[in-house]
Chains A and B, each alone.
Chain A
Amino acid sequence: MSRTEILDSVDEAVAGIEDGSTVLVGGFGFAGMPFDLIDGLIRQGATDLTVVSNNAGNGEVGLAALLKAGRVRKVVCSFPRQSDSYVFDELYRSGRIELEVVPQGNLAERLRAAGAGVGAFFTPTGAGTMLAEGKETRSIDGRDYVLEYPIKGDVALIGAHHADEMGNLVYRKTARNFGPVMATAAATTIVQVAEVVAIGSLDPEVVVTPGIFVDRVVAVPARRYTVEGAR
């Protein structure tokens, strides 16, 4: 028993996500993308969402499917434009979606700051560039820094490898990417894993995300895609 809910279905896992929510979506391209949670969110129906993710969708699955369904008002990401990001490209070019481009390291650190209770931080990334326009800057020890604020999520949707019934998570290879920081940065963190194991089955030394950061877990068979395309 633990405070983390281990749920039987994806639909239960994504229940209650409200219109207008800021949703942190894990994954780097397809690696670590919580495909089933996103499909569940599409069925659940929440709209007018702000999505924070590294990319803005590939092909027509996962995040791209959520965009295609017209549920997203704004995307906050580092790299929207890819060879197969045509769903986002069309929405953007026709003025139907807002975009905030954030350097990848600033995106990760703004999420980390939210999870760590840091009010804001000065970063050298972006200093002197158009992405720093309108932002407070400061010279510290002769170097220029830009003030950046945390990105807090109402919800985080994350793909991990295994969870135990305490909500402790382990990831797999580079599918870890944004998962651990996003898990800390949202009011409600929802995780899909390939398998939920019994308490005591995960070596405490290898837990990456402790269960305190995890609210809901659902086990779904691993569904993975390669760059060759969505199959």
Chain B
Amino acid sequence: MPLTPHELAAVVARDIPPFSYVNLGIGQPTKVAEHLRPESGIVLHTENGMLNMGPAAVGDEVDPDLTNAGKVPVTELPGASYFHHADSFMMMRGGHLDVCVLGAFQVSAVGDLANWHTGAPDAIPAVGGAMDLAIGAKQVFVLMTLLDKQGRPKLVPACTYPVTALGCVSRVYTDHAVFDVGPGGAVVRETFGVSVDELRGWLDMPLTQP
């Protein structure tokens, strides 16, 4: 059985090493936070200027001066810190952030990422922090469905959408399987109710196993 989004978020959370500094992208990756255990010592970074971000704020906790990168009101955990935007992105670009988890339109076998622009001529381009995160974190995990709504693979030999960064992704978590990607191509780490041969039938690329 393919994993539900909730189950997949739990798999990503399982693989984040203890005491990592982690940025979770807007959307589906945000759900990974629900599966991080407090004793893991994992610290969440939000690019609008905070470390040790807590869960979403509810009721009286809502403070318009305290939001995440998706502009959703959040809370602070003990030991939190605030900083300005140049410092926040220095943490990424300078290689201080251990892991970021991002969504994607496409990832290539060598780890190119496309997640900011569909290339549609009438689309209003908006990049936010996607390019900075992609080049900055020591490890970039992508969390996405393996197939798009039309059933086409999103893990591809080469991105056809405009890229966010080249060769930046190290691992791809999908509902059907987990892959390592990089200069050596795609490696299947884990499958969820599907065989590697079936995956080979879906994906237009060589797949190896560790």
Give the complex CA separation of A178 and B117 in angstroms. Answer: 24
Contacts of B76 in A (CB 8 A): 173
Inter-subunit contact A104/B165 (CB<8 Å)? no
Q: Which residue of the partner chain B has the closest CB to A175?
A: B65
Contacts of B122 in A (CB 8 A): 93
A interface bracket (residues with beta carbon within 8 Å of B)? 35 or more
Binds A, one of B99-107, B125-133, B143-151: B125-133
Shortest Cβ distance from residue B30 to the other chain A in the assembled complex, whole angstroms? 14
Contacts of B129 in A (CB 8 A): 78, 103-105
Binds A, one of B1-9, B78-86, B187-195: B78-86
Query: How many A-B residue pairs lie within 8 Å, measured between CB atoms?
Result: 150
Contacts of B50 in A (CB 8 A): 173-174
Inter-subunit contact A127/B165 (CB<8 Å)? yes
Shortest Cβ distance from residue A91 to the other chain B in the assembled complex, whole angstroms? 11
Contacts of B86 in A (CB 8 A): 108-109, 111-112, 180-181
Contacts of A106 in B (CB 8 A): 131-132
| Those of B70-110 within 8 Å (CB) of chain A | 71-73, 76, 82-86, 88-89, 92-93
Within 8 Å by CB of B83, from A54, A93, A176, A224, lies A176
At the interface, yes or no: B47 with Cβ under 8 Å from chain A?
A: yes
| Those of B33-50 within 8 Å (CB) of chain A | 46-50
At the interface, yes or no: B124 with Cβ under 8 Å from chain A?
A: yes
| Those of B53-72 within 8 Å (CB) of chain A | 62-67, 71-72
B46, B64, B89 — most chain A CB neighbours (10 Å): B64
Inter-subunit contact A32/B65 (CB<8 Å)? yes
Shortest Cβ distance from residue A208 to the other chain B in the assembled complex, whole angstroms? 7
| Those of A82-96 within 8 Å (CB) of chain B | 82, 89, 92-93
Within 8 Å by CB of B71, from A30, A109, A173, lies A30
Inter-subunit contact A174/B124 (CB<8 Å)? no
Inter-subunit contact A178/B64 (CB<8 Å)? no
Shortest Cβ distance from residue B66 to the other chain A in the assembled complex, whole angstroms? 4
Give the complex CA separation of A125 and B165 in angstroms. Answer: 8
At the interface, yes or no: B163 with Cβ under 8 Å from chain A?
A: yes
At the interface, yes or no: B139 with Cβ under 8 Å from chain A?
A: no
Inter-subunit contact A29/B71 (CB<8 Å)? yes
| Those of A215-231 within 8 Å (CB) of chain B | 224-227
State the A residues within 8 Å of B (CB): 28-32, 54, 78-82, 89, 92-93, 99, 101-109, 111-112, 123-131, 144, 171-181, 208, 224-227
Beyond A80-B125, A123-B93, A177-B85, 20 additional pairs, beta carbon < 8 A: A28-B71, A29-B71, A80-B126, A81-B125, A82-B71, A105-B47, A105-B88, A105-B92, A105-B93, A105-B131, A124-B136, A125-B136, A128-B165, A129-B163, A173-B65, A173-B66, A174-B46, A174-B67, A175-B64, A180-B86
